[in-house]
Amino acid sequence: MVYIRQDKLPKLNEYKYSGVDHSLVSRYVLKPFYNNVVIQCFPIWMAPNLITLTGFGFVVANFLTMLWYTPTLDQDCPRWVYASWAIGLFLYQTFDAVDGTQARRTKQSGPLGELFDHGVDALNTTLEVLLFSAATNLGQGWKTVLTLFASLMTFYVQTWDEYHTHTLTLGIISGPVEGILTLCIVYAVTALVGGGSFWQRSLLASLSIPHYSFIPAVVYNLAWNEWWMGYGGIVLVFNTVMSARNVMEARRGRGQKTRVALLGLLTFAAAWVLIPAYLYLQPMILHNHLVPFVFYAGLINAYSVGRIIISHLTKSRFPRGNVLIYPLIYGVADSLGPFLQERVGFGWPSALGDGVYQVAFVFLCVGLSVGVHGSFIVDVIWTICDYLDIWCLTIKYPQPAEGEEEGKKGK
């Protein structure tokens, strides 16, 4: 499949990065640290995309330790595991932020860098959902599914916002900055307290706050991990409203209809009608094989986000639909027949059946999504590199750094 048409390739030459970061933490703490300290640790010959990929390697290592020590997302791990997750995620955030500085430093800024950066971030979002669920002992269930929904929606809406406004806007509180730092704190505290079971305790009770009569029992008994989910929900609503406002204002400023932009959210909505429906119809997958299913759902979102970025870079129409949800449609339809037979007396037999066949179906979906998204990544990177005459992970035509160039002129 061709993801970038030949007549759209010249639009890549018009690319110019535009981003706004309103985070105070980023402005006064992180960026000075990145630009004055961290960037000096990377050699001038190192390609920006290689920095991004190296940072992602830390998250992959975290994910592998999670699969080894708590594949069910509800077992306590050794303290060093949680500490390594905090360090690995902070290194990922640092490498992910420094790649832009390295691109400007080596004069390698371009559309491939933005695509590569967003593509890696999309994969990291799913892996961090699993790591957070494991760190807080959410287990395999609806709490992890809700965490996945909030995380993927935040990322999708932010990319949808960038497509319509042509600017990457990070709010006062955003996932790439405060969200990641929050996760680092959660992992570090989990290491200090000795395990994820700590987060299942009542927050108010563990802080020695008396159960006053005006505090409902439901609120008083809320566990730490449930408060974390509430915090994430507030951030989700805030960022979604801000992104929608940005898109509406941008389209009105260009004299375009605002409701057309809202149709772009239907792709995400369609996937998230099917995902909980399938899990409700197949509780065995929800409670026993959720990790591979979460990976599949994450790749559905990553594929959509990647196509949006490509459309943004080539100034093409907004992509609607997602081929990766077709197996999910079949899974829901197949599981719905026996459910209707049991509840209302009529339906249709399942072709897949239950048990091991449903597990095999989920892994088939994972394999299909890896193949489709992988082919998308390879095709797009190959096309962009060929057209712009660049390499992906190495610098094809090294340019002198700004300081070196000035030194040569002085001589």
Among candidate residues 149, 126, 122, the one with its CA nearest the CA of residue 62: 126
C-alpha distance across the termini of the chain, in Å: 52
Record the tokens describing residue 388, joined without a space: 């712009």
Q: Which amino acid is at 216?
A: P
Q: Which helix (H) or strand (E) holds 83?
A: helix 79-105
Among candidate residues 22, 118, 166, 287, the one labeled active-site is 118
**Residues 316/111, Cβ–Cβ less than 8 Å:** no
Strand partners, 222: none
Per the annotation, the verdict on 118 as an active-site residue is yes
| DSSP-derived 3-state class of residue 175 | helix
Closest CA to 54 of 70, 38, 66: 38
Number of Cβ within 10 Å of residue 324's Cβ equals 21
Which residues sit opposite 202 in a β-bridge?
223
For 28, which DSSP code? Answer: I
Based on its alpha-carbon atoms, the radius of gyration of the chain, rounded to whole angstroms, reads 23
Catalytic residues: 118
